[in-house]
Structure 1
């Protein structure tokens, strides 16, 4: 079971790297329906809950690391991004609460043929949290810490001769992750690299130093995933 789900996740990540607008998440729901007994609507609900929790934890850590990095005074250039992120987070929380406590009242406004799918989506969305929220929160924090650790190791591996605090490194890594959610180019291509370079330069690195960090980090986090995902994709289509 774990191997089957891991295979699906790798293929979905690969799709997210080569397709815009996080289309890999819809591909993951499709694969779940094809390879397991989970319906597409329930799968989408579960994936949406995962993404919502990801984003809420990401924004929480981003705000905390940002306040520490900037010593509780957010630079004016970053204020709009902070506000937009917090508004999206508030909207997600409000949406989840509405779905949780609507008791089926919203489904009355849907066409009859969509009500069953909406019910399965809601079940997938809410059942993902049932009795597991503390564990899921803890695991999500660990995942984002691992993202930050990767960037820390990249910075340490390069002869930059400049010290960045752990809070600054976490802030940069989370900004990069946040930029991948923008439905523009696949995997946040160009946007992520530009964001990493801009924040690193703000923290005192030269443009060439920041570029070297961005290239190495993206080789690990983006291009290596495409390479592995392509192999898995080709092997899965030979079966």
Structure 2
């Protein structure tokens, strides 16, 4: 409901005929290139997740890790509150038998790596895009983002320090087992894996950033290389907002706000957003539905 209200408010003053014509005149080849960049970034993030699972002692093929990762994105696109992250661990348990509380720790670490790479990239790209005159709203957002990173790392360290004492003294054995598995997943992260994981995070996010860059070209717009990537990363970061599925409504509003900072018309901004969300939202819902049915059918056949 919140998503549709925001979307309605965004597109209320639009001339839909002009918007439709703008989209119809887009270069389809560049749109396909944008699609390719987006799905390449998903594959790279699947590789990163597989490496995190390997450190946690969970053995799974890259093909299966990629499939489960994509299905979690599908669930996050239709249900709010990041339920897809829990669904990912549930699907993994069906495959490997490993506890959900163990694999969910790899998703938690994944989020820390995401924030630790996206926010510095956004800061660098914002500095270049706006030639030192970074808008106040973006500076505030980045400051809060950096504070969140430090808070997450600090809370993680505190958790690792006190969890064993809590588990040892708690009467709730189920809770104790869950927390023990979660701690185990975090502690098994190997130091020598961190540079590789950081590099994969940077490459995957920049690759995803090229999605809007290609969409700009599809619409005949040229605003350089850095600003489209900055815009894309800003939108991608907001998909983490748990109140709506895949940040629906919030992402669209933020993207139009950012594009407006470069005086891009409301029609062109809306066309960029529509094409971007066709890739980053509707394609996941469409293909995810098909993949989900296929996966459930294959799993039932395997269990028999």
Contact 1:26-1:44 within 8 A present in 2 as well: yes
Q: Residue 42 and residue 78 in structure 1: after superposition, are their counterparts in 2 closer, same or farther (change >3 A)?
A: same
C-alpha deviations, 1:59-117, integer Å up to 9, x for none? 11111111222223322232331222121111122223334555734545754412222
Give the number of the structure whose alpha-carbon radius of gyration is greater: 2
CA distance in 1, matches of 2:87, 2:98: 14
Q: How does 1:105-184 map to 2 (within 5 A)?
A: 105=165, 107=167, 110-113=170-173, 114-160=175-221, 163-184=222-243
Alignment root-mean-square deviation, CA: 1.9
| Of 89-98 and 30-39, the range deviating more from structure 2 | 89-98
Contact 1:59-1:89 within 8 A present in 2 as well: no
Three-state SS of the structure 1 residue aligned to 2:164 is: coil
Counterpart for residue 236 of structure 1:
295
C-alpha deviations, 1:14-52, integer Å up to 9, x for none? 101111111100001111112213211101111111111
Using the size of structure 1 for normalisation, the TM-score is: 0.91
Counterpart for residue 50 of structure 1:
110
Which protein has greater RCO, CA pairs closer than 8 Å, 6+ apart?
2
How far does residue 237 in structure 1 lie from its aligned partner after superposition?
2.6
Q: How many residues align?
A: 237
Contact 2:163-2:179 within 8 A present in 1 as well: no
Structure 2 residues without counterparts, runs of 5 or longer: 1-60
Q: Residue 77 and residue 103 in structure 1: after superposition, are their counterparts in 2 closer, same or farther (change >3 A)?
A: closer
How far does residue 126 in structure 1 lie from its aligned partner after superposition?
3.0
CA distance in 2, matches of 1:155, 1:146: 15
Q: Residue 39 and residue 130 in structure 1: after superposition, are their counterparts in 2 closer, same or farther (change >3 A)?
A: farther
Three-state SS of the structure 2 residue aligned to 1:132 is: helix
Of 253, 258, 261, 1:194 maps to: 253
CA distance in 1, matches of 2:104, 2:234: 26
How far does residue 196 in structure 1 lie from its aligned partner after superposition?
1.1
How far does residue 194 in structure 1 lie from its aligned partner after superposition?
1.4
CA distance in 1, matches of 2:284, 2:82: 15
Q: Residue 230 and residue 48 in structure 1: after superposition, are their counterparts in 2 closer, same or farther (change >3 A)?
A: same
CA distance in 2, matches of 1:140, 1:55: 10
Of 268, 282, 286, 1:209 maps to: 268
- Corresponding position: 1:15 with 2:75: yes
Using the size of structure 2 for normalisation, the TM-score is: 0.73
Structure 1 residues without counterparts, runs of 5 or longer: none
Contact 1:16-1:25 within 8 A present in 2 as well: yes
